[in-house]
Amino acid sequence: MSDEILLNVEHLKQYFPVAGTKKFVKAVDDVSLYIKKGETLGLVGESGCGKTTTGRSILRLTEPTSGKITYGGQVIFDSEAGIKADMLPYRQKMQIVFQDPYASLDPRMTVGDIIGEALDIHQLYSNRQERRDRILQLMGRVGLNSEHANRYPHEFSGGQRQRIGIARALAVKPEFIVCDEPVSALDVSIQAQVVNMFEDLQKELGLTYLFIAHDLSVVNHISSRIGVMYLGHLVEIADADEIIFHSAHPYTKSLISAVPIADPKIARASKRIILSGDVPSPLNPPSGCPFRTRCPFADAHCAEEKPKFREISSGHFAACHNIDKVN
């Protein structure tokens, strides 16, 4: 991992209009983060917190409402300056592995054509033989056999389909991959294989990942840094070990307390932090701090003013008015 920043996201917002009203769903609200070349940034949070929308907005699969995205030193989106770069050249550098291997593969295409489609679009071969060799090489790299090339997605298990999705993402030799909950639809035994494969590919090819998941133990295993999202906001970000052992935000603490512990003695001794209430609607978020309606430390200040996302120790950022009280 180098110190060179590959991706920098500033004040990213993604608002979706609600039909028949003047309201907006604030799916991503003022998220800023960076990812260094060769590192894995894990992004965690409960369902509906905006993790997937953040990943899709960074790749501009969904055009952001506002903010600035810089990739490899080039601004690819800036709402204030009116910059919207042509994404076709960047599609070779930036790829995504989708969450659902059932829905993300065309059922009418063979595996060979699914993987080869990206090669066709970017014209990454000089003849048909070179195309076929590249497809078979990619399939071998993700643990699929050459005879699988002429089969269709419905003939494969969930884990094999996810491998096809990974091979498709690797076809254009990307530098950066958004892994959108790539193991959540898989059996636990298969999850470990796929996560290990992601790590091996990173070492071999020098890849950079944004790894989105709601399972903190999976994210901790693969990530060098972890960001925690709640209701469209980034509430904490730090090195993986720092987040696990020295978390500062009350929401992060409750997430970590919910991770199962294999040792029954330690599990009995550890205290589970149960949050009261339900997650507010992103259509009508609370005033001030988005987490205040479920936070045991919330006070009047939290209702009046949204906390700044600030550095509380070296490389450790959090958005909370009562950091001292929480810790």
Residue 190 has pLDDT above 90, yes or no: no
Residue 126 has pLDDT above 70, yes or no: yes
Measured in whole angstroms, the distance separating CA 300 from the mean position of its chain's CA atoms is 33
Measured in whole angstroms, the distance separating CA 140 from the mean position of its chain's CA atoms is 26
Is 298 in contact with 325 (CB distance < 8 Å)? no
Span 1-21, mean pLDDT?
91
Q: Quick: pLDDT tens for 85-122.
A: 999 999 999 999 998 888 889 999 999 999 999 999 99
d(CA 178, CA 180): 6
The full DSSP string for 236-299 is: EEEEHHHHHHH--SHHHHHHHHTS--S-HHHHHHSPP-PPPS-PPPTTSPPSSSTTGGG-TT--
The predicted structure's pLDDT at residue 1: 67
Q: Quick: pLDDT tens for 31-88.
A: 999 999 999 999 999 888 999 999 999 999 999 999 999 999 999 999 999 999 999 9
pLDDT band at 188 (very low <50, low <70, confident <90, very high): confident
Query: Beta strands 66-71 and 74-78: pairing type?
Result: antiparallel
- With the CA atoms of 195, 199, 201 and 205 taken in that order, what torsion angle do they form, in degrees rounded to the nearest 10? 150
The predicted structure's pLDDT at residue 148: 93
| pLDDT-above-70 percentage for the chain | 98
The predicted structure's pLDDT at residue 217: 85
3-state secondary structure of 45: coil
Query: What's the chain's average pLDDT?
Result: 92
3-state secondary structure of 30: strand
The predicted structure's pLDDT at residue 232: 93
The predicted structure's pLDDT at residue 261: 73
Determine if the pTM surpasses 0.85: yes
Q: Quick: pLDDT tens for 202-243.
A: 999 999 999 999 888 889 999 999 999 999 999 999 999 999
